[in-house]
Amino acid sequence: MSEDVYDLTIIGAGPTGLFAAFYAGLRQMKTKVIDALEEPGGQVAVLYPEKYIFDVPGFTKILAKDLVKNLVDQAFQYAPTVVLGERVTTLQRTDGTIVLGTEKGAKHYSKAVLVAAGVGAFTPNKLDAQGAGDYEGKGVYYFVKDKAVFKDKKLLIVGGGDSAVDWALNIKDTASKITLVHRRDVFRAHEGSVAELMKSEVEVRLFNEVRRVIGDGNRIQQVVVFDNRTQAETTLDIDAILVNIGFRADLGPIKNWGLEIDGREVRMNGRMETNIPGVYAAGDIAGAPDGVKLNLIATGYAQAALAVNVAKAYIDPSSKIFPGHSSEMKR
């Protein structure tokens, strides 16, 4: 049994979890990473691999997929055990060991656990328009794995948040034409991005929504949009639709682990400790009662480093929380 017990098991292989795996390796901890997705990278890999990220320290800008590759290379140099496509469903403490159960019936044993599960399970809000469901995977998209699928296409983007605006700017040189429809005249996206959008060649139709998707059964040919103030309809020649109208997030089984939870956040203190000894939280899922909440990759990195170092001292009291600077550490 002892050889199956890890020092630290990280639930979540997004940027926070991957950086935590690196730091745990740096501190010579026997580490395991478990994620429900089939690939590492979390939401970054699933939602916007082809988008640039501009607020990662050390990079003027970096494609999300390249950031994930770099994080994987950094984390995997210490050869952590990685379990993908397996959702953790239970967490229990047994004789000082934390036992994690998964939907596949597997058991994972660990001295400490870091919950870095992002916002939990997430599913996209679907486009509520006649015919939209008939063309999912045949022209209606909720994720973009490769923006080349829109090459020389007439693309309709639906939404007014960061994802919709960023994709419009990112794909405008790939698609032959982009039309963005938004049901209001106020965007939720970053102000600078909205200003750039309005100066671009993207056609922006405000107070517009999608009413019908028309095609031949195999591909989209037209989309009927309407002005929600007057109900006036316009028919657009469209080859593809990218829907960015938000996601539903759910903590799922995490809610039943005995953790103190506030809304969609696991409560932790300044040491990243939850109410369960040996269990820590970092990243988007972590919330401090009196702290400022910033769901940024940079914030997740810092919290990951804190959690790992505190966990190291927890499982080995002779270790210091601060290990010294990495340039001074033996590798």
Residue 63, token pair as written in the block: 């494609």
Give the max Cα distance, the chain: 72
DSSP 131: T
Q: Are 302 and 240 found together in one domain?
A: no
State the pTM of this model. 0.78
At which of 211, 229, 245 does a domain end? 245
Q: What burial letters (b/e) apply to 114-149, b meaning 16+ CB within 10 Å?
A: bbbbbbbbeebeebebebbeebeeebbbbebeebeb
Q: How confident is the model at residue 37, as a pLDDT?
A: 86
Same domain? For 240 and 215 the reply is yes
Residue range of the domain that includes 189: 126-245
Domain count, the chain: 2
113: domain CATH number is: 3.50.50.60
Q: What is the pLDDT of residue 1?
A: 42
Yes or no: say if 205 and 225 are a contact pair by the CB < 8 Å rule.
yes
Same domain? For 270 and 202 the reply is: no
Report pLDDT for 289.
78
Per-residue pLDDT of the chain (331 residues; tens, 9 = 90+): 445 999 999 999 999 999 999 999 999 999 999 999 888 999 888 777 888 898 899 999 999 999 999 999 999 999 999 999 899 999 999 888 999 999 999 999 999 999 999 877 777 899 999 999 999 989 999 988 889 999 999 999 999 998 899 999 999 999 999 999 999 999 998 899 999 999 999 999 999 999 999 999 999 999 999 999 999 999 999 999 999 998 887 888 999 999 999 988 999 999 999 999 999 999 999 998 787 888 899 999 999 999 999 999 999 999 989 887 776 665 5
